Amino acid sequence: MLKGSGGFSSGNPGSASGTGEELQLSDRQYRLWAEMLENKTGVRIASHRDDFVRRQIVRRVQELGFGDVEDYFREVSQPGRGTREWGVLLDRLLVKESQFFRHQASHDFFKHRLKCHLQSTSREQRYSVCSVGCSTGEEVYSLAMGAFDSYRSADQEAAFSIVGIDVSVEAIQAARQGIYTNRHLEAVPGSFLNDYFDATTNNTMAVKAELKRRTGFFVSNMFDENCPGLASPVDVIFCQNVLIYLKNWRRRDLLNSFVDKLKPGGCLIVGPGELNDWQPAGLSRVAYPGIQAFEKLLPKGISLERDEHEDET
């Protein structure tokens, strides 16, 4: 597609295409990209990010020296060959912002559930957790630190694994590396910093091997039926600040698909306010202050929540 025929619109001089014109996406082209992003990942571009996304696509077209944005679109759409390039572009378009202990009440609830598990008859079983849309690893490492703490408080040997999945290759590489700036680590309690991080150079700290051994990270699409981390049923699916980017029907499809991936008694923890009144069939809403979580019903007569007074009798 050439300029003037719905392809690039003209602007100031200085483009990488050598035509002396600045590249821009037409509205039609932009819609095609936005649709591709949504079809492949579920993510809908918020209108306030339109200009940013347009600029990223144009920049990539220029970097690769494509003479036409439609050629680049065709390249990325190629099965196989286009997959790698799609991954590069995707990394620039997604919002990957994350923090340690981002929603404290959800982490408190996670520890509460693990404590119940450690008091139950199923405590011998390894506790398995999947963080969906884990970005650069903060969520997974926060859960792992909380889990270690729970096992220690219960005076039991740690037996858990936490897997993070994300569609972004760069995010997963950073998560595996596990190096964070001191500023980024401000939300991590001092005792956890001492126990689970080593100081490195340049105002950064690195996750210790003990924490890494309990965690794993995979590049994967959460809509993929064979998503690693959810290959067999888990105790907890933690999915926060991901659903907000999806249309309601996709949120529902995704959460419905999680039901089979939870063990009976397992929990789905989403961000507060990420769902309204709807809840997936087969799960019941958990009453716990300040959080939004659902639990998969246990066979009749069995409860995970332990009677506080059980030991007194």
Answer yes or no whether residue 295 interacts with ligand SAM by CB under 6 A. no
Compute the distance between CA of residue 212 and CA of residue 209 in angstroms, rounded to an integer.
5
- Interface segment toward ligand SAM; rule CB under 6 A; list 37-45, 69-77, 262-270, 302-310: 37-45
Among candidate residues 163, 177, 221, the one with its CA nearest the CA of residue 38: 221
| Largest distance between two CA atoms of the chain | 85
Span 205-234, contacts to ligand SAM by CB under 6 A: 221-223
* Residue 63: Cβ within 10 Å count: 10
Contact criterion met (CB below 8 Å) for 113 and 179: no
Q: What 3-state class would DSSP assign to 245?
A: helix
Structure tokens at 42: 């579920």
- Choices 31-39, 115-123, 162-170, 229-237 (CB under 6 A): range interacting with ligand SAM: 162-170
Binder of ligand SAM out of 128, 135, 150, 161 (CB under 6 A): 135
Nearer to ligand SAM, 141 or 151 (CB): 141
Instruction: Please pick, from the candidates 15, 24, 29, 41, the single residue that binds ligand SAM as defined by CB under 6 A.
Output: 41
Choose the stretch contacting ligand SAM; rule: CB under 6 A; options: 75-83, 105-113, 120-128, 160-168: 160-168
Q: Which is nearer to ligand SAM, 169 or 286 (CB)?
A: 169
**CB-nearer residue toward ligand SAM: 118 or 239:** 239
- Which ranges in the chain belong to alpha helices (H)? 27-41, 50-64, 69-77, 81-93, 104-119, 138-153, 169-177, 190-196, 209-213, 248-259
Binding mask 94-133 for ligand SAM (x = CB under 6 A): xxxxxx--x------------------------------x
- 168 in contact with ligand SAM (CB under 6 A): yes
Q: Is 138 helix (H, G, I), strand (E, B) or coil?
A: helix
Cβ count within 10 A of residue 303: 10
Nearer to ligand SAM, 19 or 223 (CB): 223
Return the structure tokens found at 150: 């729970």
Site string for ligand SAM, 76-95 (x = CB under 6 A): ------------------xx
Which residues on adjacent β-strands are paired with residue 129?
A: 162, 236
Q: Which residue has the CB atom at the shortest distance from ligand SAM?
A: 133
204-207 and 197-199 strand pairing? antiparallel
Q: Which residues lie near ligand SAM (CB under 6 A)?
A: 41-43, 94-99, 102, 133-135, 138-139, 165-168, 171, 221-223, 240-242
